[in-house]
Structure 1
Amino acid sequence: MTPLIFVTGGVVSSLGKGIAAASLAAILEARGLRVTMMKLDPYINVDPGTMSPFQHGEVYVTDDGAETDLDLGHYERYLRTRLSRKNSITTGRIYENVIRKERRGDYLGGTVQVIPHITDEIKRCIVEATEGFDVALVEIGGTVGDIESLPFLEAIRQIRTERGPDKALFMHLTLVPWIAAAGELKTKPTQHSVKELRSIGIQPDILLCRSEQPLPDSERRKIALFTNVSERAVISAVDLDNIYRMPRRFHEQGLDDLIVERLRLPAGPADLREWDAVVDASEHPVDEVTIAVVGKYVDHQDAYKSVGEALKHGGLRQRTKVQLKWLESSDIERDGTAALDGVDGILVPGGFGDRGFEGKVLTARYARERGVPYFGICYGMQAAVVDYARHVAGLAGANSTENDKASPHPVIGLITEWRTASGEIERRSEDSDLGGTMRLGLQEQRIKPGTLAREMYGKDVVGERHRHRYEFNNRYRTQLEDAGLVISAKSMDDLLVEMIELPRAQHPWFLACQAHPEFLSTPRDGHPLFVGFIRAAREHKAQAGGRLLREVR
């Protein structure tokens, strides 16, 4: 049985359970252990694929095409382990599985109940996702006390009882608020949170105490006394201005030693040099650039969590601080492109729907005509294609059928709209289910020699993760290529356009891709496209009269 570390949260939500758990996982991996992670979310949606980004934030996509919680992005950025749909489970998924079994007759006519049937299904999913690893961390979403999470908490309580304390461990993240008027840290919320856990049969083994101020020894002793947790296991999780410092901070407090001892893990000493290098690069930059991110959810930046992180990773690889200027595409649509003046690079991320799309098209045109480095992702590629079709190829009214089904030049559309067995255009977008035509997961593409894309990747075939419904309309390939657009990557069967760019003679760095490369970027390794984009932004800044760039070896 794989030893399990269950991570719960108390007092309030948004304390950072995902990052805290991922930081611990990073230390255990640095000690030579094979580590995986899992998220149990209490909402009834089967997955977040159709949830509003304003409510849920980013939908993170795995290699096998699972649409998951953004915490899986944190997990993969901190670990070398690639995750899958098994690593993201919701209440909706659990009930869907159980109801499907009931309809098949698997329960032999018995009454289906939360206990044991729902809890058994939760335990089965945990075993399936974690088997074969040296240790696994399982994060339970929500806050202790929420009615929605009770089946998950009951399931992990049963696992601890069945496996014993050397195979299952409870780690609880709580808030220790600083009351400025009193000038004190208050431990009572943590005490009540632990009391709530104990009332359902779970005694935490470790407490991570989130606070604005470092936790004094006196407060640690007090918390230990009233929660029945050893003082050594009360860990200070003080606010940090750099989340990549957290593995080192936890290691200095002996958190990983405590877990290795409790679970009897075959671990060596922790080698955190890679994380120290990440922190050093971020805190001692030699250059700085400003990147405009033009999207439709910028007031809720969690919708672009991986994009923001990947841009920063691209800067880390060359000791460059990346300042992000978030711009609402609807504002650019209404007010024009003045807000883009003076930026060193422009990125247009993915999205759905017509709101703000014309602002993205204006942004692509601005970057193309002004020579500003441009990186388009998914919808950002489609916006660049529409701009090029309208303003260079002379295709008036060119658009995506997502936004204008009557467009005279549907340069972007569903595959079913432009490809049929007879070769005739078949318009069926109004019949398409929201998720039914989605292209999801890791897919390979072949890169054209001599292109900017080939220079960035340094190889001919690459795999990237996708999440979209609409594609470049192949009926316009020849026309747009004749007008100068470079199609620099296509799917392995040559059917789908994966990347477009402008010739280097026309623009220093203009590249857009249909996939989502941000999902494969990590702070330790970066991603070739983001590293290249930030390098281009540095060069643009220097040529525009910015301070001289220093070479980074």
Structure 2
Amino acid sequence: MNPTRIALVGDRSPAVRAHEQIPRIASAYDDVDLHWLPTGQLVPDDAITFDGLWVVPGSPYADEERVVDVVRIAREAGTPLLGTCGGYQHMVLEYARDVVGIAAHHAESHGAGEGAPASTALITELACSLKGHSGQIDVVPGTRAAAVLGEQSFERFHCSFGLTAEDAAPLVEAGLLISGTSPEGEPRVAELPGEAFWLGTAFQPELADAQPHAVIDAFVTAARERAGRRIAEVAAALR
């Protein structure tokens, strides 16, 4: 068993290109073990047993509520947390519900006629779909995203839903940092300040030509550091 254990939270499918890419990307790291966690079988408290959680693309998930729960537990425990595309959307959703106190939902999962009023939709269908598109991201200096991506990046997307600048406003007031935007100012990267790695990207770094993508590499580095602390704590307890 390799020392760094990373959980992939999502419903694996051969139809999702990112899912096919992730094991290939991870093969560059000889100290990492990947563990796929289907959302319908998630045990949220297991989040703290891993050195990092990567909430992967492929929403709507089979069990949205368990995904949100595992994201909350990981955030509160300081477990390195990466969300890409749908994963980013659900990290934002968890923050809105559990930190800001908004009864927010994802319009893709709770459409019209399912009992969720439009006023609570936080993740909504984009006016211009980004599915299959590439685009520029302007990064806020001094942020974790800037340390990873630089001041500007050009990334690949595959989503039709997202967080708008207007809907992000109360989350930003509560402490969420929108550290990357489109040239028009729409959110593309979100993070939380502090030492714990908490980063969500609307784009899919899994689809980049050059791998491992800088975002993935930064996440794996954070997971390695947590693994090192965990191993040291176990060794100390055995002395």
Correspondence for 2:39 among 324, 329, 339 = 329
- 8 Å CA contact 1:298–1:326 kept in 2: the answer is no
| Offset at residue 516 of structure 1 (A) | 0.6
Question: Within the alignment, does 1:466 sit opposite 2:157 as a pair?
Answer: yes
Correspondence for 1:294 among 9, 12, 17 = 9
| Offset at residue 299 of structure 1 (A) | 9.3
Distance 1:497 1:303 in 2: 21
Which amino acid in the other structure matches residue 196 of structure 2? P
| Offset at residue 478 of structure 1 (A) | 1.7
- 8 Å CA contact 1:311–1:534 kept in 2: the answer is no
| Offset at residue 312 of structure 1 (A) | 3.4
Correspondence for 2:108 among 395, 402, 413 = 402
Aligned to 1:544: 230
Change (3 A) 1:312 1:483: farther
Distance 1:450 1:303 in 2: 29
Written as runs of structure 1 = structure 2, the 5 A alignment for 1:381-396 is 381-396=88-103
Correspondence for 1:441 among 133, 149, 153 = 133
Which amino acid in the other structure matches residue 387 of structure 1? E
Which amino acid in the other structure matches residue 385 of structure 1? V
Aligned to 1:380: 87
| Offset at residue 308 of structure 1 (A) | 2.3
| Offset at residue 345 of structure 1 (A) | 0.4
Question: Within the alignment, does 1:349 sit opposite 2:56 as a pair?
Answer: yes
Change (3 A) 1:300 1:462: closer
Aligned to 2:176: 485
Question: Within the alignment, does 1:371 sit opposite 2:78 as a pair?
Answer: yes
- 8 Å CA contact 1:486–1:500 kept in 2: the answer is yes
Secondary structure of 1:439's counterpart equals: coil
Secondary structure of 1:392's counterpart equals: helix
- 8 Å CA contact 1:312–1:321 kept in 2: the answer is no
Distance 2:72 2:26 in 1: 22
Change (3 A) 1:441 1:353: same
| Offset at residue 402 of structure 1 (A) | 1.0
Correspondence for 1:517 among 174, 197, 205 = 205
Secondary structure of 1:493's counterpart equals: coil
- 8 Å CA contact 2:139–2:146 kept in 1: the answer is yes
User: What is the root-mean-square deviation in Å for CA atoms of aligned residues?
Assistant: 2.4
- Per-residue CA distance 1:432-454 (angstroms, 9 max, x = gap): xxxx9453222110011111111
Q: Which runs of 5+ in 1 are unaligned?
A: 1-286, 417-435, 549-553
| Offset at residue 475 of structure 1 (A) | 2.2
Secondary structure of 2:157's counterpart equals: strand
Once superposed, which parts of structure 1, at least 4 consecutive aligned residues long, lie more than 4 Å away? 298-303
Question: Within the alignment, does 1:415 sit opposite 2:123 as a pair?
Answer: no
Aligned to 1:36: none
Question: Within the alignment, does 1:533 sit opposite 2:219 as a pair?
Answer: yes
- 8 Å CA contact 1:509–1:533 kept in 2: the answer is yes
Identity value in percent: 27
Larger-gyration structure (1/2): 1
Aligned to 1:499: 189
Distance 1:547 1:521 in 2: 38
Secondary structure of 2:137's counterpart equals: strand
| Offset at residue 489 of structure 1 (A) | 0.2
Distance 2:168 2:175 in 1: 11
Correspondence for 1:455 among 147, 150, 156 = 147
Change (3 A) 1:414 1:368: same
Change (3 A) 1:512 1:312: farther
- 8 Å CA contact 1:310–1:521 kept in 2: the answer is no
Change (3 A) 1:300 1:366: farther
Q: Which runs of 5+ in 2 are unaligned?
A: 235-239
Distance 2:68 2:141 in 1: 28
State the number of aligned residues: 228
Change (3 A) 1:338 1:414: same
TM-score scaled by structure 1? 0.39
Distance 1:326 1:354 in 2: 14
| Offset at residue 526 of structure 1 (A) | 2.3
Structure 1 window deviating more from structure 2 (484-493 vs 401-410): it is: 401-410
